[in-house]
Chains A and B, each alone.
Chain A
Amino acid sequence: MSMKNSVEVKNISFSYGKTEILNDLSLDIKEGEFMVLLGPSGCGKTTLLNCIAGLLDLTDGQIWIEDDNVTWKEPKDRHIGMVFQSYALYPSMTVEKNLSFGLRMMGTAKDLINEKIKKAANLLQINELLKRKPSQLSGGQRQRVAIGRALVRDAKVFLFDEPLSNLDAKLRAELRYEIKKLHRDLSNTMIYVTHDQIEAMTLADRISVMKDGLIQQLDTPKQIYNKPANLFVAGFIGSPSMNFLKANFDKSSQKIIVGKKQIDISKYENINNLMNDQEVIFGIRPENINIEKNENSISCKVELVEPMGADTLVWTSIEGNPISIRLEGSSNFNLNDEIIISFDINKSSIFDSNSEERI
């Protein structure tokens, strides 16, 4: 990955009628980078992708692709290829014609078209399907063809609009792997919209978590998972999601107080930024809670056990707040067992309860 920017979104706004969907949003995507736009439905991620593709006209701002101001250019002149959730294959054309449509529109020579189709078909293993119509293909095959259509155009930037959402779980994992491999082999810039955090975590070089048309956090998957910038990101990323406890900080003892329970957080990295009696939300992921006894442990009761194969999820509660703990699959617990848990404070997150920002 180079340091050069491939796509630059500069202060763009987009309104649909009177509804403002994007407001003054900026985002730089580096050459060869796999950028995932992640967020719940209605967060503006697909709108942003359509703006980059040129399928929606901006209300304000600029879009640059490969050092070229494409703000007012037609989609076909933006060096992009796009893959849609609904596949969007032309139903009346064979797979071959689907792949070659863009090239034929550009007036590419026949030999060159055949060569490119062959290359793309080999890469995606759809050689046998070339003479078939889209209606004779399975969902996974259709999406391969749709990816192939973007491939043959020699696009500089690939845009994916929730490409795997219509597939079943097994196929989704398979194609996710293939897309990752494709990016490894081609090293094109890719922008990928999804609401699936697993896809985001596995594919992305960087994730841009969006909500209400704003980028909440833009960082590597690791950083986003381990150091979420605010309460929304913390709750959205991770399944089962992070446990939250409302608490007050006591500066003298360096503890947070949750009802009658106290937790020592002196090991928290930014503890010096906390003020006495500050209202905070303490967040800890299920896998960062351990069953062990030490000076900082809390005893509670098992309320529910969810065995998931590889690991087992144990539910309990602290002062009425449900807490999930991820343990090894082999661990054995029964309802109402007494357990003693302790928190890995290094890996916890603490948010201000008013601003909901990470401290």
Chain B
Amino acid sequence: MSAIPKGPRPKHLTVGRIGLYCFIIMCALFFLMPLYVMIITSLKDMDEIRAANILNLPKELSFYAWPKAWSQACTGFVCEGLKPGFFNSIKITVPSVIVSVALSALNGYALAFWRFKGAYFFFGLCMFGAFIPYQVMVYPLLKIEDFLGIYSSLPGIILVHTIFGMPILTLIFRNFYASLPIDLFKAARIDGGNFIKIFFYVIIPMSTPITIVAVILQVTGIWNDFLLGLVFAGRDNQPMTVQLNNIVQVDYGVAEYNVDMSATILTSLVPLFVYFISGRWFVRGIAAGAIKG
């Protein structure tokens, strides 16, 4: 018996569909597994952890690891937990993000609209800068900062993050601005805007989506950075990631896995939070750049 085609297409659950769902669910489980282990381990006490049933739910909830990771765990010789690192990371991330995003927006605007002599060369240089592994430049930069007298200080690490963020951010902004109609810029020039006025009155108000993308990229990138923080920040300004490493890599005493796990979760909360509140913007910005860029 065959139905007469009419109205909306009937829904079929085909074998292919079922297979697809199974695959997606398995992928999700696979990536959620470590998170699950981290969370339950952080809620067990050490006796239970030593019992080595890594996937079992805790028999008794124990919250002692969380405050310890936050304010008592030993990072080297000091035992103040991750708290100082958290505030160091904020002190590093906030100015680095603001400076690098602001300068990159200005650069991208200049590259997209004011086709100065050598703009293409500069554009190529940015491409080159965006794809070169930054480990190569750590030592020369260290010598330069040492010469400038800002090595191992807060301004020192902020400068490094700004420098390494700018090539890719400049490209992102340039591509976004290149997708705006050039007539808009021409109209603003006839209306009497100069380089700075057009940027502030016409371009910035249109930059919200791409700025959000840039901020997300920079916040997560700088917050998650370990190497640069270790090398350039100095002992007093060590970011959260470096202190996390110090907690986990104990050379003496007992390894407290529950503390390690809660410390790791605490460190990753900021990027996680950023993704959750801005995922929609992130996808939109990337997609806009991908289609028109």
- A residues at B contact (CB < 8 Å): 50, 53-55, 74-76, 80-82, 84-93, 101-102, 105-106, 149, 153
CB atoms of B183 and A88 under 8 A apart: yes
Whether A76 and B183, one on each chain, are in contact in the complex, defined by CB atoms closer than 8 angstroms, is no
Cβ–Cβ contact B192 & A149, under 8 A: no
A84 contacts which of B183, B197, B202, B205 (Cβ < 8 Å)?
B183
Closest CB in chain B relative to A202 CB, distance in Å: 25
- Residues from chain B with a CB closer than 8 A to the CB of A50 are 186
Query: Which B residues touch A76, using CB under 8 A?
Result: 189-193
Give 23 A-B contacts (CB < 8 Å), ordered by A residue. Answer: A50-B186, A53-B190, A76-B189, A76-B191, A76-B192, A80-B190, A82-B190, A84-B183, A84-B187, A86-B181, A86-B183, A87-B183, A88-B183, A88-B186, A90-B184, A90-B187, A92-B202, A93-B205, A101-B193, A105-B201, A106-B192, A149-B191, A153-B191
* Interface of B toward A, CB cutoff 8 Å: 181, 183-184, 186-193, 197, 201-202, 205-206
Q: Taking CB as reference atom, which chain B residue is nearest A93? A: B205
Contact of A102 with B202 at beta-carbon distance under 8 Å, contacts A88-B181, A88-B184 already known: no
When distances are taken between beta carbons in the complex, the residues of chain A under 8 Å from B186 are 50, 53, 55, 75, 82, 84, 88
Residues of A close to B183: CB separation below 8 A = 84-88
Q: How far is the CA of A55 from the CA of B189 in the complex (A)?
A: 8
Query: Do the beta carbons of B181 and A105 come within 8 Å of each other?
Result: no
- Closest B residue to A102 by beta carbon equals B191
A106 to B191, CA, bound (A): 9
Q: How far is the CB of B210 from chain A (nearest CB, A)?
A: 14
Chain B, residue nearest A84 (CB): B183
Assembled-state Cα–Cα distance A53/B188 (Å)? 12
- Which 4 pairs of residues, A with B, have the shortest CB-CB distance? A92-B205, A102-B191, A105-B192, A88-B183
* Known interface pairs A76-B191, A76-B192, A102-B191; A92-B206 also in contact (CB < 8 Å): yes
State in angstroms the CA–CA spacing of A101 and B190 once bound together: 10
A-B contact count (CB 8 A): 61
Complex Cα distance, B191 from A149, in Å, reads: 9
| Chain A hits for B188, CB < 8 A | 90, 101
Q: How far is the CB of B121 from chain A (nearest CB, A)?
A: 15
In the assembled complex, how far is the CB of residue A226 from the closest CB belonging to chain B, in whole angstroms?
36
Nearest-neighbour CB distance to chain B for A281, whole angstroms, equals: 40
Across-interface contacts of B181 in A (CB, < 8 A): 86, 88
User: In the complex, given contacts A75-B189, A93-B205, what are 7 additional A-B residue pairs having Cβ atoms less than 8 angstroms apart?
Assistant: A53-B186, A55-B190, A75-B186, A88-B183, A88-B186, A90-B188, A149-B187
Assess whether B190 is in contact with A102, with CB atoms less than 8 Å apart. yes
Contacts of A55 in B (CB 8 A): 186, 189-190
A82 and B197 CA atoms in complex are apart in Å by 19
Q: How far is B206's CA from A27's CA once the two chains are assembled, in angstroms?
A: 39
* Docked complex Cα distance between A80 and B190 (Å): 7
Chain A min CB distance to B239 (Å): 36
Closest to A152 in B: B191
- Whether the Cβ atoms of A74 and B189 lie closer than 8 Å is yes
In angstroms, Cα B197 to Cα A313, docked, is 56
A284 to B190, alpha carbons, bound, how many Å? 45
Q: How far is the CA of A84 from the CA of B189 in the complex (A)?
A: 13
Residues in B neighbouring A89, C-beta threshold 8 A = 187
The answer to whether B206 and A101 touch across the interface, beta carbons within 8 angstroms, is no
Q: Report how far A54 CA is from B189 CA in the complex, Å.
A: 9
Query: Complex Cα distance A149/B183, Å?
Result: 14
- Shortest C-beta distance, B134 to chain A (Å), equals 35
Selected from A75, A82, A88, A101, the residue in CB contact (under 8 A) with B201 is A101
In this complex, the member of B187, B188, B206 whose beta carbon has the largest number of chain A beta carbons within 10 angstroms is B187
With a cutoff of 8 Å between Cβ atoms, the chain B residues found around residue A87 in the complex are: 183
Residues of B within 8 A of A153 (CB): 191
B206 & A75 in contact (Cβ 8 Å cutoff):
no
Chain A residues closer than 8 Å to B206, beta-carbon distance: 91-92
